Amino acid sequence: MTSNRLQRVGPTSFVAFLAGVAAVAGSYATAGFTPAFVVAPVAAFLTRTVPDAVLRFAIVTLGTFAGIDHFGQLLNLALATGLTTAFLAGVSLLALVAGRRLDARLAPVGLVGASMWVVTVVLTGQLMLSLGAAVGGAVVVLVAELAAVMGEPSAATDSSVRRRILGGVASAFGVGILSYLFGRSASGPAAVTSSVDGSGTPGGPDGSGPSSNDSQSVGDSTVTQEYLAEAERRTLDVDGLEGLVSDDFYQVDINNIDPNLRASDWTLSVTGSVEQEATYTYDELTAMGDEQRFVTLRCVSDKINGTLMDTDLWTGVPISRILDEVNPQGAFVMLRAADDYFEEFPVEALEDGFLAYGKRGGPLPRAHGHPVRALIPGHWGEINVKWVTEMEILDGPEKGFWERRGWHGTGPVNTVAKLHTTNRLDGQIQVAGHAYAGTRGIERVEVSIDGGETWADATLSDRLPAGTDESGEAAEDAWRQWEHTYENPGRRHTVVVRATDSTGTLQPREEESPFPSGATGWVSKTISP
């Protein structure tokens, strides 16, 4: 008797595990890579409860991986998926055991489906989208149960046990394939550019750019094309060097799964220590204007020669127009976002700020804050809050999300010259990269080919324009390219690069880790002949 019981428990547990896998897959099929995906709340919980030291290690040490700007995010997502699957498998096991005690052939199927639906609704709050998890888990149990009794009255024979396992595996695999296809077509991890009503449309491979077939446009398209054409003309002709407008804009968020907001439902509340509180809808905000700006963002966790720094053309409204209406009385502001992110900094930094609702002529992509994000000139990327929903004016300072974890990234960015490209020409070597100093601007980049003993001025790209006219004004907060070509010395040598901002301040030589105030130091690279 004990042997028969073990014979049933093993396959039942395995089918329950497969049902848990299928439930996660089914949830992805209906919800895609959105907050309605059953894994999303688990991943968010882990992000907020992980010890600060572990989070810092993941950000600073593990760095980037496979298109995810923080390898720690990939680990967090994997752990959340595993925990969610294990939990759903446990719920499925209980439902299977209870169902088989009832005198009804399909009772296990119904109980598993119902339990998957209830658990997913509790986790995500989505009644209809949770049906995906229910169907995924139920299908596996249904196929397994039917396979077990196919051609035999008893479901406890060796052959029926094998058929139950094989049926469960086959159905779980099928559910997984279909879920992957449906999930990607809905709003999967590559999905992307959000149209003005918040729906996902196919776009770039990482969601960083507008879709080529997206019929929506933001701002004056003629002005957009003039801006982009001018940026192209000012771009240095260096093989392998990214242009002045980034092809693949970096993405760093506190959550693995981004909010999926509709512009029609979005509002921005201005609260706190103001003369007049106010709330703005998307239409009211966009009616204020469609100014376009080139803006560079750099993450405070970016390594000294890392890749978490990019530039694009943004469309939006100066925050000063809102400040004029509400008349802030406090000295600090807390920006809050739909993903529960929040950052605090001085109100004075808002005066030149920008509320962007477009990127490169199209709607702001979901991955970059659709429908509206903040852009605060010259400051670290962390205070350029995406999916912004509230602007609270404070009388005194408070700590933001990252400051509570020991970071000091609310101030102006550090000056940096990066060395990302090396080309071998006829008897010469060409090195190139980008330099950025926030609103201070880059005045000079110097290159040494002898480890810092002697220096030569690099060639700089013209500054990106502040307008499309011929006023000659430069973008306030944008990077510049640099390039230097020299005779090949025929031996291994160390190239060092450093930048000077427009105030005459040289980039600090001493190398410091990104934590807690952003990386500093001269960038160097050893080059073989």
DSSP 479-528: -EEEEEEEE--SS-EEEEEEEEETTSPBPP-S-B-STTT--BS-EEEEE-
Alpha-carbon distance values, 192 to 186, 312, 366, 381 (Å):
10, 17, 6, 20
Strand 267-272 and strand 388-394: the pairing is: parallel
pLDDT at 453: 95
User: Distance (Å, rounded) from C-alpha 189 to C-alpha 501?
Assistant: 38
User: Distance (Å, rounded) from C-alpha 248 to C-alpha 204?
Assistant: 9
Query: Are residue 425 and residue 518 in the same domain, yes or no?
Result: yes
pLDDT at 394: 97
Domain contains 170: no
State the DSSP string of 127-140.
Answer: TTTTHHHHHHHHHH
**What angle, rounded to 10 degrees, do the helices at 39-49 and 71-100 form?**
130
442: domain CATH number is 2.60.40.650
Domain contains 179: no
Query: Are residue 383 and residue 494 in the same domain, yes or no?
Result: no
* Contact in structure between 313 and 293 (CB atoms under 8 Å): yes
CB atoms within 10 A of CB 212: 10
User: Distance (Å, rounded) from C-alpha 443 to C-alpha 147?
Assistant: 73
Q: What are 388's two structure tokens?
A: 């912004």
* Contact in structure between 235 and 218 (CB atoms under 8 Å): no
Q: Terminus-to-terminus CA distance in the chain, angstroms?
A: 77
pLDDT at 402: 92
pLDDT at 254: 86
* Contact in structure between 187 and 34 (CB atoms under 8 Å): yes
pLDDT at 55: 72
Q: What are 417's two structure tokens?
A: 């010259």
Distance of CA 309 to the CA centre of its chain: 14
Cis peptide before 259 (omega within 30 of 0): no
Which residues, at least 6 apart from 101, have a Cβ–Cβ distance to it below 8 Å? none
Query: Are residue 501 and residue 395 in the same domain, yes or no?
Result: no
Q: What are 235's two structure tokens?
A: 């771009």
Amino acid at 126: Q
Given 405, 428, 460, which residue is the final one in a domain?
A: 405
Range of the domain at 259: 221-405
Query: Are residue 431 and residue 398 in the same domain, yes or no?
Result: no
Q: What are 157's two structure tokens?
A: 């024979």
pLDDT at 165: 53
Query: Are residue 258 and residue 390 in the same domain, yes or no?
Result: yes
The β-bridge partners of 506 are 500
pLDDT at 5: 45
Domain contains 337: yes
Number of domains in the chain: 3
Given 374, 405, 436, which residue is the final one in a domain?
A: 405
* Contact in structure between 345 and 333 (CB atoms under 8 Å): yes
Q: What are 139's two structure tokens?
A: 């299908």
Can you point out the beta strands (E) in 97-205?
193-194, 200-201
Query: Are residue 142 and residue 288 in the same domain, yes or no?
Result: no
Domain contains 469: yes
Nearest to 129, CA basis, from 137, 117, 140, 138: 117
Domain contains 363: yes
Query: Are residue 394 and residue 424 in the same domain, yes or no?
Result: no
Domain contains 62: yes
pLDDT at 94: 94
Q: What does the DSSP 8-state code read for residue 62?
A: I
Query: Are residue 225 and residue 364 in the same domain, yes or no?
Result: yes
Nearest to 140, CA basis, from 110, 175, 105: 175
Alpha-carbon distance values, 27 to 13, 16, 180, 247 (Å):
21, 16, 10, 32
* Contact in structure between 109 and 16 (CB atoms under 8 Å): no
Query: Are residue 318 and residue 463 in the same domain, yes or no?
Result: no
Q: What are 263's two structure tokens?
A: 């512009």
Torsion sign, CA atoms 104, 109, 113, 118? positive
288: domain CATH number is 3.90.420.10
Tell me the Ramachandran region of residue 194: left when phi exceeds 0, alpha when psi lies from -120 to 50, beta otherwise: beta
Query: Are residue 373 and residue 504 in the same domain, yes or no?
Result: no
Domain contains 181: no
Q: What is the pTM of this model?
A: 0.82
Strand 200-201 and strand 193-194: the pairing is: antiparallel
Query: Are residue 262 and residue 378 in the same domain, yes or no?
Result: yes
Query: Are residue 226 and residue 109 in the same domain, yes or no?
Result: no
Which residues, at least 6 apart from 226, have a Cβ–Cβ distance to it below 8 Å? 468
For 112-140, letters b (16+ CB in 10 Å) and e give: bbebbbebbbebbebeebbbbbbbbbbbb
Domain contains 178: no
Alpha-carbon distance values, 319 to 13, 262, 334, 352, 457 (Å):
57, 21, 14, 7, 38
Angle at 13 between CA 9 and CA 18, to 5 degrees: 150
Tell me the Ramachandran region of residue 490: left when phi exceeds 0, alpha when psi lies from -120 to 50, beta otherwise: left
User: Distance (Å, rounded) from C-alpha 380 to C-alpha 357?
Assistant: 20
- What is the strand order of the sheet 493-501 is part of? 456-457, 442-448, 493-501, 523-527
User: Distance (Å, rounded) from C-alpha 263 to C-alpha 32?
Assistant: 19
pLDDT in tens for each of the 529 residues of the chain? 444 443 455 678 888 888 899 899 989 988 888 899 999 999 989 888 878 777 777 676 665 543 344 566 778 888 999 999 999 999 999 998 898 888 777 888 899 999 999 999 999 999 999 988 988 888 888 877 766 555 455 455 445 555 545 554 555 556 556 555 565 555 443 333 333 333 333 333 333 333 333 347 888 899 999 999 999 999 999 999 999 999 999 998 888 889 999 999 999 999 999 999 999 999 999 999 899 999 999 999 999 999 999 999 999 999 999 999 999 999 999 999 999 999 999 999 999 999 999 999 999 999 999 999 999 999 999 999 999 999 999 999 999 999 998 999 898 999 999 999 999 999 999 999 999 999 999 999 999 999 999 999 999 999 999 976 656 789 999 999 999 999 999 999 999 999 999 999 999 999 999 999 999 999 999 999 8
Which residues, at least 6 apart from 344, have a Cβ–Cβ distance to it below 8 Å? 332, 333, 334, 335, 394, 397, 398, 399, 400, 403, 410
